[in-house]
A and B are shown apart, each in its own frame.
Chain A
Amino acid sequence: MSKKKIKVASPQTGCSACMPNTMQIPLGPQHPALKEPTHFLLEVQGEVVVNATPRIGYVHRGIEKLAETKTYSQNLTLVERVCGICSHVHSVSLANAVETALGIEGFEVPKRAQYIRTIVLELERVHSHILWLGIAAHEIGFDTLFMLSWRDRELTMDILEEISGNRVNYAINEIGGTRRDLSQTQIDRMLKYMDITEERINRYKDICLKEDTIRMRTQGIGILLPSKARELCAVGPTARASNVKVDVRYDDPYSAYDDLRDIFTVVTYDTNDVFSRVVVRIIETIEAVKYIKWLLKNLPEGPVFAKPPRKVPEAHVLSRTEPPRGELIHYLWSNNTDKPYRLKITTPTLANIFSVAEMLRGDYIADTTISLASIDPCFSCEDRMITIVNNDRRKPKIETWSESQLRRYSKEWYANKGWKK
């Protein structure tokens, strides 16, 4: 058996030695419940998980490094590919960062463009939350809800396709505004579709609150107490489901969220379990539909694009946004050229990964996948590269690469076209 291999993968082998009668069950990297590769090493006693150790880094793509070689306009296209589901929010985040840096020289984005961006952001939230509802239903073996909710998600996808031309990477953003404007027919159609979506989501809310088997599978599992949520820096719906009132849209408004503050509600729920996350996400979807309708009705007139200067002045900008999964941070270091000197991206799943390890502790094996899915994970977005120097975590040893070492490594890497010798 590959027992030795798994021990190497586990950073905490010391712990299994002190837990008697435990069996190690790997959750991932390949698992039918995981859409992307990640690894959790579960130590189980019977059917109860006593410890879970996450390991990430299976799909590291080097996007941050690649961003340094491209211009800002090209980078919008690149960062949209960070995540397949919350793609628009990445480009908004980078555009916000760049426009803030340009703002030093008095550059301003038209109001209508900000509104259109926010509409697409909220549409993205609607489709992402419905998608998550379907996945969660699939994890607990309720395929009917999965199929029906994904059917109704198509309405939102149709709107997105109509206004941007694409279903996944909308590419509606440009630095200084948006590429496309909304026509009156589009607005009318969106209002009509949003009415239908709201009605359907209300129905799913009823189903989730009343259906017994859903409650049996989601209540009382994956507990994350508010104190733990704060301690482990949980973000987004995961934190709000633990009754922690954080939402970047309300705390630190960007784009058009400033105008929405009067009707904005930060949705929280206080049962701290998976059920709480289901409720928070569904109510958030209903809220998002409400914001879309408000934004469409109060859409200001004017241009959607202002031509920005090519070069961005030297600045350090921290741009915070709220994707459907939690807080997203883009840190931009510009150096008076048309390319960023450094772009650092921290996605919400990375912030929530320790919360998952906490949630899994004390669950049954049957509940691990729904607990894991309850943070709406997106592993390809968050992957980091880690070099484990020594396998024994009790005696940590950190290795730092010097610049000459890195240069030599990159030369070897490119010489072998990515293959190790």
Chain B
Amino acid sequence: MVCKQRVEKVSAVWWILTILGILFFPGIGFCITFALIDEWIDRKFYAALQDRIGPLHTGFKGILQPLADFLKLLSNEDIEPEAADKWGMRITAIVALVIPLVALLFIPIIDTTGMISFEGDILLLAFLTTVIAIAIYLAGWFSANRLAMPGTMRAASQLLSYEIPILLTMFVVALRTQSLNLADIVGWQIDHNRPTLFSLPMVIFFGIFLLSTQAELERSPFDIPTAETEIVGGWEVEYSGKKLGFFRLSADLQLLYAAGMATTLFLGGPTGIELWIPSFAETLANTPGYHVWPILYYTTFFLIKSTLIIVILATMRALMARIRIEQFLEFSWKWLIPISLGLVIVTIFWVPWTDQVIWSHWEGLFPNPT
């Protein structure tokens, strides 16, 4: 759709296509639809692990249940406490919904390039994820509730502990691929015939990224700021109706964004078999039909890979009890951050050497037709 060549030739058709792309596919409409389906997959898989059935009645095996939940929340009464900062509450709810949507435009879904792509977009994404966390902190702060306060404080102290490993992971991938652009990171993986995941420190970084992501999404075992049985929902205790619906949808979108980010950074983005059969990309580009087949192909592979990440995250959710905030801080500052820092050094000095010794042979196995 929005290819690089066309960006240079700004025309009316390009504008229409871009606006349609942002609104429907692969923009807001597609992302919200797939985020809701992701929630359904997450719930179904989580239920299966617990020997339950999960959502069942709305739509095919309950696939419309997340949508029904969202619509029901929209129709609920919206209660705002007297002591709360009402405009603050409203604005944070909207900000929390908008930011993941903006961030999703950068993720390569229907092409090896995202809707928006420029050199250094990975820095902007790092900034956006932190803004979501700050919005959550402010959401608790504005609601002026006795039980929201501990939740807010927990969210703030948790923020520092997971943001640093996530940033380190993003930058280590950037170091590995010598690029600060998501499209170039995907391109590097195509050029080198393997996802970034396939080298020793990257596997550990993949684990660190998933753990930190779980903490960022506030899901068990790191659902400490919203612990329902401890502090009655934490920062979201005063939110109801539309605002709660926005926060729930925002959580789904963040899940999709995190899965997309992990896919792009480690699993080769939306690419499929052309990683190993380089001539396939050529065939794909030359198929008749106006870009429909490449779009379908890339979207399918993106959905498969991101669903895989969501299934891993759901398994993690089912396997552990919620840990305490100080245990999480200890875990993060004593293990996650030192290990990631050490592995950054390994990546800088050791990985170029293995590239020369081992991976050059690997790349020799896949002769490029050009």
Residues of A within 8 A of B (CB): 1, 23, 25-26, 31-33, 47, 137-145, 147-148, 151, 211, 213-214, 216-217, 364-369
Closest to A217 in B: B321
Q: What's the minimum C-beta distance from B232 to chain A, rounded to whole angstroms?
A: 6
Q: What's the minimum C-beta distance from A208 to chain B, rounded to whole angstroms?
A: 10
Give bound CA distance, A58 to B230, whole Å. Answer: 21
**Which of B170-178, B204-212, B220-228, B278-286 has 4 or more CB atoms under 8 Å from chain A?**
B220-228
Closest to B318 in A: A144
Q: Which chain B residues lie closer than 8 Å to A1 at the CB level?
A: 83
**B327 touching A368, Cβ below 8 Å:** no
Let me know if B322 is at the binding interface, CB within 8 A.
Answer: yes
Give bound CA distance, A139 to B325, whole Å. Answer: 15
**Which of B5-13, B45-53, B113-121, B305-313 has 4 or more CB atoms under 8 Å from chain A?**
B45-53
Q: Which chain B residues lie closer than 8 Å to A214 at the CB level?
A: 321
**B322 touching A142, Cβ below 8 Å:** yes
**B146 touching A151, Cβ below 8 Å:** no
Q: Pick the contact of B321 from A33, A141, A367 — CB < 8 Å?
A: A141
**B324 touching A369, Cβ below 8 Å:** no
Give bound CA distance, A88 to B232, whole Å. Answer: 33
Q: What's the minimum C-beta distance from B312 to chain A, rounded to whole angstroms?
A: 16
Interfacial residues of chain B within 215-250, with CB under 8 A of chain A in the complex: 220-221, 223-224, 227-233
**A33 touching B83, Cβ below 8 Å:** no
Q: Known contacts A32-B229, A141-B227, A144-B49; is A366 also within 8 Å of B221 by CB?
A: no
Interfacial residues of chain B within 311-370, with CB under 8 A of chain A in the complex: 318-327
> B42-63: contact bitstring with A at CB < 8 Å (1 yes, 0 no)?
0000000111100000000000
Q: What's the minimum C-beta distance from A104 to chain B, rounded to whole angstroms?
A: 51
Q: Known contacts A213-B320, A216-B327, A364-B324; is A141 also within 8 Å of B231 by CB?
A: no
Closest to A34 in B: B229
**B322 touching A141, Cβ below 8 Å:** yes
Q: Which chain A residues lie closer than 8 Å to B220 at the CB level?
A: 141, 143
Give bound CA distance, A27 to B236, whole Å. Answer: 17
Let me know if B134 is at the binding interface, CB within 8 A.
Answer: no
**A147 touching B52, Cβ below 8 Å:** yes
Give bound CA distance, A23 to B231, whole Å. Answer: 14
**B50 touching A211, Cβ below 8 Å:** no
Q: What's the minimum C-beta distance from A10 to chain B, rounded to whole angstroms?
A: 14
**B318 touching A365, Cβ below 8 Å:** no
Q: Which chain A residues lie closer than 8 Å to B233 at the CB level?
A: 32
**A144 touching B319, Cβ below 8 Å:** yes
Let me know if B201 is at the binding interface, CB within 8 A.
Answer: no
Q: Pick the contact of A148 from B51, B228, B231, B320 — CB < 8 Å?
A: B51
**B321 touching A47, Cβ below 8 Å:** no
**B50 touching A148, Cβ below 8 Å:** yes
Q: Which chain A residues lie closer than 8 Å to B74 at the CB level?
A: none
Q: What's the minimum C-beta distance from B245 to chain A, rounded to whole angstroms?
A: 20
> B144-179: contact bitstring with A at CB < 8 Å (1 yes, 0 no)?
001101100000000000000000000000000000
Q: Known contacts A211-B321, A213-B221; is A31 also within 8 Å of B232 by CB?
A: yes
List 24 A-B pairs, Cβ < 8 Å: A23-B146, A23-B149, A25-B146, A25-B147, A33-B228, A47-B150, A47-B325, A141-B322, A142-B320, A143-B220, A144-B318, A147-B50, A147-B51, A148-B50, A213-B221, A213-B322, A216-B321, A216-B324, A217-B323, A364-B325, A365-B231, A366-B224, A366-B227, A368-B230
**A369 touching B229, Cβ below 8 Å:** yes
Closest to B229 in A: A33
> B245-285: contact bitstring with A at CB < 8 Å (1 yes, 0 no)?
00000000000000000000000000000000000000000
Q: What's the minimum C-beta distance from A317 to chain B, rounded to whole angstroms?
A: 41
Number of B residues near A (Cβ < 8 Å) is: 30
Q: Which chain B residues lie closer than 8 Å to A23 at the CB level?
A: 146, 149
Give bound CA distance, A366 to B227, whole Å. Answer: 8
Give bound CA distance, A124 to B216, whole Å. Answer: 43
Give bound CA distance, A242 to B319, whole Å. Answer: 30
**A137 touching B232, Cβ below 8 Å:** no
Closest to B222 in A: A141
Q: Which chain A residues lie closer than 8 Å to B83 at the CB level?
A: 1
Give bound CA distance, A368 to B52, whole Å. Answer: 29
Q: What's the minimum C-beta distance from B100 to chain A, rounded to whole angstroms?
A: 24
Q: Which chain B residues lie closer than 8 Å to A151 at the CB level?
A: 51
Q: Pick the contact of A139 from B224, B229, B324 — CB < 8 Å?
A: B229
Q: Pick the contact of A213 from B50, B323, B326 — CB < 8 Å?
A: B323
Which 7 pairs across A and B sit closest by C-beta, in order of nearness? A141-B322, A142-B321, A147-B50, A213-B321, A33-B229, A213-B320, A140-B321
**A140 touching B326, Cβ below 8 Å:** no
Q: Which chain B residues lie closer than 8 Å to A25 at the CB level?
A: 146-147, 150
Give bound CA distance, A249 to B220, whole Å. Answer: 40
Given A140-B322, A366-B224, 13 more pairs with CB closer than 8 A:
A23-B149, A32-B229, A33-B228, A47-B150, A141-B322, A145-B321, A213-B321, A216-B321, A216-B324, A216-B327, A217-B322, A364-B326, A365-B150
Give bound CA distance, A23 to B153, whole Å. Answer: 14
Q: Known contacts A32-B232, A216-B323, A364-B324; is A141 also within 8 Å of B51 by CB?
A: no
Give bound CA distance, A141 to B52, whole Å. Answer: 17
Give bound CA distance, A142 to B320, whole Å. Answer: 6
Q: Which chain A residues lie closer than 8 Å to B223 at the CB level?
A: 141
Give bound CA distance, A216 to B233, whole Å. Answer: 22
Q: Which chain B residues lie closer than 8 Å to A147 at the CB level?
A: 50-52
Q: Which chain B residues lie closer than 8 Å to A148 at the CB level?
A: 50-51
Q: Pick the contact of A33 from B49, B149, B230 — CB < 8 Å?
A: B230
Give bound CA distance, A347 to B123, whole Å. Answer: 62
Give bound CA distance, A58 to B291, whole Å. Answer: 68
Give bound CA distance, A145 to B327, whole Å. Answer: 21
Give bound CA distance, A139 to B227, whole Å. Answer: 9
Q: Which chain B residues lie closer than 8 Å to A141 at the CB level?
A: 220-221, 223, 227, 229, 321-322
**A366 touching B325, Cβ below 8 Å:** yes
Q: Which chain B residues lie closer than 8 Å to A31 at the CB level?
A: 232
Q: Known contacts A47-B150, A141-B220, A144-B49; is A365 also within 8 Å of B230 by CB?
A: yes
Q: What's the minimum C-beta distance from A213 to chain B, rounded to whole angstroms?
A: 4
Give bound CA distance, A364 to B322, whole Å. Answer: 14
Give bound CA distance, A365 to B228, whole Å. Answer: 12
Give bound CA distance, A139 to B231, whole Å. Answer: 11
Give bound CA distance, A142 to B327, whole Å. Answer: 16
Q: Which chain A residues lie closer than 8 Å to B228 at the CB level?
A: 32-33
Q: What's the minimum C-beta distance from B154 to chain A, rounded to whole angstroms?
A: 8
Q: Which chain A residues lie closer than 8 Å to B52 at the CB level?
A: 147
Q: What's the minimum C-beta distance from B220 to chain A, rounded to whole angstroms?
A: 5
Closest to A147 in B: B50
